[in-house]
């Protein structure tokens, strides 16, 4: 568990969660976070890491490099890797059950995360479709569903749960949802492009895996230039969703632009 959680990475989901909470809770002094929101962020990172451990297994993507280090199953074996992923998921929900917020907010947070990681329009459902779409010449609608579910759903839940934790209004939560859905899809589009254009050393994971596995990706459907154009358009749409928050949204806007400008 420690091998995978502390291997590095962007920590994108907890950062988005905590920044959404800070933005929504207006009365906080500049730079301060709502008390205890770090626990929510840590639970989100554990859930993301569990998904990476399982995603890297030979039965799924069969990858031996993650965050610049050997994957969990390479170091400890498939049996321990499966259990490590299971344990991270279980511990994440234990942390969520103890969040220092109102009981109703806690219930809503658990529901948002369960849907974001679940089987309909969530992470697991996207992973299933990703596997089934291999070697099928997937169309644009299928690729978008996979990306919105497998990657975008937990990114979106990270933002909405941060807003719920901070006591956001229904309109504020929906604005965060709109922002999350746009940047989540843009993030995965850029990931697809980087898989084609960067090396394993630059990415910290095996490059070219999508092409080798004949995965359903944006570059495969639209080409690299059109994929990047679509990612840029999504970031514009995402930032427009934050307009009601005014200057308090500057950090989230900067993060959105980072997601499409990053090199790894």
Question: What pLDDT, on the 0 to 100 scale, is given for residue 185?
Answer: 97
- The pLDDT assigned to 211 comes to 76
Question: What pLDDT, on a 0 to 100 scale, did the predictor assign at position 84?
Answer: 98
CB-based burial label for 107 (10 Å; 0-12, 13-18, 19+): exposed
Round to whole Å and give the CA distance between 197 and 176: 31
CA–CA dist 255, 19 (Å, integer): 10
Angle, CA of 197, 186 and 208, to the nearest 5°: 25
Sign of torsion over alpha carbons 70, 197, 45, 124: negative
d(CA 112, CA 221): 31
| Paired strand residues for 51 | none
Q: Are 92 and 26 in contact (CB under 8 A)?
A: no
CA atoms within 13 A on the CB side of 164: 24
Q: What is the mean pLDDT of each run of 10 residues along the chain (264 residues)?
A: 93 98 89 94 98 97 92 98 98 98 98 96 96 91 96 98 98 99 97 87 73 84 95 98 97 96 83
* Alpha-carbon torsion angle 175, 14, 46, 97, nearest 10: -70
CB 85 within 8 A of CB 127: no
Predicted confidence at residue 31, as pLDDT, reads 77
What is the pLDDT at residue 12? 97
| Whole-number pLDDT of residue 36 | 97
What superfamily in CATH does domain 2-261 come from? Farnesyl Diphosphate Synthase (1.10.600.10)
Q: How many residues does the chain have?
A: 264
Distance CA 101, CA 228 (A): 40
Answer whether 59's CB lies under 8 Å from 115's CB: no
What CA–CA distance (Å, rounded) separates 106 from 214? 41
pLDDT, residue 208, reads: 76
Q: Are 60 and 54 in contact (CB under 8 A)?
A: yes
* Beta carbons within 10 angstroms of residue 91's beta carbon: 16
Return the half-sphere exposure (C-beta side, CA atoms, 13 A cut-off) of residue 152. Answer: 27
Phi and psi of 82, rounded to 5°? -60, -45
Contact at 8 Å (CB) between 190 and 259? yes
Q: Output DSSP code: residue 66.
A: E
The ranges assigned to domains in the chain are 2-261
pTM for the model stands at 0.94
Contacts of 97 (CB under 8 A, 6+ apart): 106, 110
């Amino acid at each position: 568990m420690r091998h995978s959680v502390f291997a590095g990475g962007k920590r994108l989901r907890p950062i988005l969660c905590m920044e959404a909470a800070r933005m929504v809770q207006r009365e906080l002094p500049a730079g301060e976070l709502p008390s205890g929101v770090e626990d929510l962020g840590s639970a989100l990172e554990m859930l993301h890491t569990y998904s990476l451990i399982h995603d890297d297994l030979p039965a799924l993507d069969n990858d031996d490099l993650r965050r610049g280090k050997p994957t969990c199953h390479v170091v400890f074996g498939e049996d321990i890797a499966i259990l490590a992923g299971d344990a991270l998921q279980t511990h994440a929900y234990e942390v969520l059950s103890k969040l220092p917020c109102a009981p109703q907010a806690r219930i809503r947070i658990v529901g948002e995360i369960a849907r974001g990681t679940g089987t309909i329009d969530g992470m697991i459902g996207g992973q299933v479709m990703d596997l089934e779409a291999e070697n099928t010449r997937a169309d644009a609608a299928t690729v978008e569903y996979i990306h919105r579910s497998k990657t975008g759903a937990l990114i979106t839940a990270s933002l909405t749960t941060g807003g719920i934790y901070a006591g956001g209004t229904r309109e504020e939560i929906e604005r965060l949802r709109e922002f999350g859905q746009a940047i989540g899809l843009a993030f995965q589009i850029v990931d697809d492009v980087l898989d084609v254009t960067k090396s394993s050393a630059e990415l910290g994971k095996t490059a070219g895996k999508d092409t080798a596995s004949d995965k359903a990706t944006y570059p495969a459907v639209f080409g690299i230039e059109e994929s990047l154009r679509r990612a840029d358009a999504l970031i514009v749409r995402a930032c427009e969703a934050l307009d009601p928050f005014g200057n308090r949204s500057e950090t989230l806007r900067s993060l959105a632009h980072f997601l499409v400008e990053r090199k790894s």
